[in-house]
Amino acid sequence: MQLFSTARASRRTARSVVLAATVMLSMAGPARADLSDRQMALVSANCLQCHARERTGAPLIAQPSDWKKRVAAGEEAMLRHVIEGLRGMPPSGYCGACDETDLRAMIRWMSEGGADK
């Protein structure tokens, strides 16, 4: 039984590492044009805690299907949810240094998969 749970935990860890690597690679490419260096640092320090890890309940950056309903609701609704907090996400996503311009840019960047569109 212990071996089974250890193997399952290892697979989850491996998936999380692959997802985080995908996110980090997408951040190193052309997507940097969408976010300022400051905003990219804010994403790294705040957003990736949940949006790059499976099973947090947060939509994952590299998973467009996670964002489909949210994008359909519109940017204003997403911004309101970020500012006010929603379910497990705290108000402003823990980003006390983020202003509305930052939040809008980061919402767009994450909902587009962290890549230029």
pLDDT tens for the chain, 117 residues long, are 555 565 555 556 545 544 554 445 444 444 334 899 999 999 999 999 999 999 999 999 988 899 999 999 999 999 999 999 998 889 998 899 999 999 999 999 999 887 544
Helix (H), strand (E), coil (C) string for 40-86 = HHHHHHHHHHHHCCCCCCCCCCCCHHHHHHHHHHCHHHHHHHHHHCE
In a domain, 52, yes or no: yes
Q: DSSP letter for 6, please.
A: H
In the chain, the number of structural domains is 1
In a domain, 61, yes or no: yes
The CATH number of residue 20's host domain is: 1.10.760.10
Predicted pLDDT at 18 = 44
In a domain, 88, yes or no: yes
In a domain, 116, yes or no: no
In a domain, 117, yes or no: no
In a domain, 28, yes or no: yes
Per the CB < 8 A criterion, the answer to whether 46 and 76 are in contact is no
Residue 60, domain extent: 2-111
